[in-house]
Chains A and B, each alone.
Chain A
Amino acid sequence: MGMSSGGSDGMQSEINVTPLVDVVLVLLIIFMVIVPLTMRGYDMAIPGEATAAPAAERELEQIVLAIDPGGCPLVGPPQAEGLPAGCNVRLNDDTLAATELSAAVAAAFAERAEPDRVLFLAAHDRLNYEAVMRVVDLARSGVEGLRIGMVTEREPDSPAL
């Protein structure tokens, strides 16, 4: 069973690299499993005095997406994937179901060139973070190059910071 040591065939001049390849491949697979491939996420813009919008941009009407716990009961962590059925959000003055959000945002930004596509997010502080990110994800899905801006003024009903 391979224990014979009387190898009288020609001398092998090359190193046997097979075990090396095995070890390296296993290490590679371990690393590939551990590493989440890339960081993914959402860029946020926080308008402030230092980064005032150019004059041309300020003349455009701002489009504000408002989410509050009254319309969208997402205070605890969402259990299921996606959003609950009864979630309503406001896009400027219109109240609409979250499922229609992608189309509504696409319609609202249809006339604008890419640098002017900024959606302002006014989400209530008590909402669950993941739920808000899912709403943002839906809103972004219909528009190419949409940037998300944070509304920094407090909503009247937000708790004090």
Chain B
Amino acid sequence: MQVSNRSAVRSAINVTPLVDVVLVLLIIFMVITPQLQSGPGVDLPVTDRPQDRVDEGRRIVVTLDRNGAVWVDDEPVPGGGFAEHMRGLAEGRSDWSVVIKGDAALSFGDVRRAMLVVDAAGYKNVGLIAERREGAGESG
């Protein structure tokens, strides 16, 4: 077990593991991104302690913008067709969770009615999405 390494000193850092890690991170982010950005951008309500949601991947994102327009995942739903659309999607997917991204400027009634429609369509889990306020303490 004697150390007999007499070859020239290598001056370059071995960056291969770094490149591996970074590439994997990049791929993870590229895969996650489209799921997180379903529907149009809305100003989510800002609160201090929203829970992290477990990303189980089996979920439907309902977006309500400030004008009352409804998106389900990436598709806009024409006015009045929301209940029917959700019932249609619920076939075989009633154990999926539905998350509602409502614009902060909406009234609570708009969001509540959307929740009732989702519930009536047969989904078990409904969540309301919020954004954590910058600088709020980590708790809850």
Give chain B's interface secondary structure class.
mixed
Contact A150 B51, beta carbon cutoff 8 Å: no
- Would you call A156 an interface residue if the criterion is a C-beta within 8 Å of the partner chain's C-beta atoms? no
Q: How far is the CA of A150 from the CA of B111 in the complex (A)?
A: 11
Scan A6-40; emit 1 where CB is below 8 A from any B CB, else 0.
Answer: 00000000100110110011011001101110111
* CB neighbours of B33 from chain A (8 A): 31, 34-35
Total chain A interface residues with beta-carbon distance under 8 A: 51
Min CB–CB distance A52 → chain B (angstroms): 13
Stretch of B74-82, B85-93, B102-110 contacting A (4+ beta carbons < 8 Å) = B102-110
Q: Knowing A31-B30, A141-B140 touch, does A124 contact B51 (C-beta < 8 A)?
A: no
Q: Complex formed: what's the CA distance from A150 to B128 in Å?
A: 12
Tell me the B106-140 residues at the A interface (CB within 8 Å).
Answer: 106-113, 115-116, 119, 122, 124-133, 139-140
B50 CB to nearest A CB, Å: 4
Given contacts A40-B51, A42-B50, contact A125 B22 (CB under 8 A): no
Please state if A129 and B140 are interface contacts (CB–CB under 8 Å): no
Assess the B109–A134 pair: CB atoms within 8 A.
no
Judging by beta carbons under 8 Å apart, are B129 and A24 in contact? no
B residues 28-50 with Cβ under 8 Å of A?
A: 29-30, 32-33, 36, 45-50
A108 at the interface (CB under 8 A from B): no
Point out residues on B near A: beta carbons under 8 Å: 12, 15-16, 18-19, 22-23, 25-26, 29-30, 32-33, 36, 45-53, 55, 99, 102-113, 115-116, 119, 122, 124-133, 139-140
**Residues of A bordering B, CB below 8 Å:** 14, 17-18, 20-21, 24-25, 27-28, 31-32, 34-36, 38-46, 48, 50-51, 75, 77, 81, 123-134, 136-138, 140-141, 150, 152, 158-159, 161
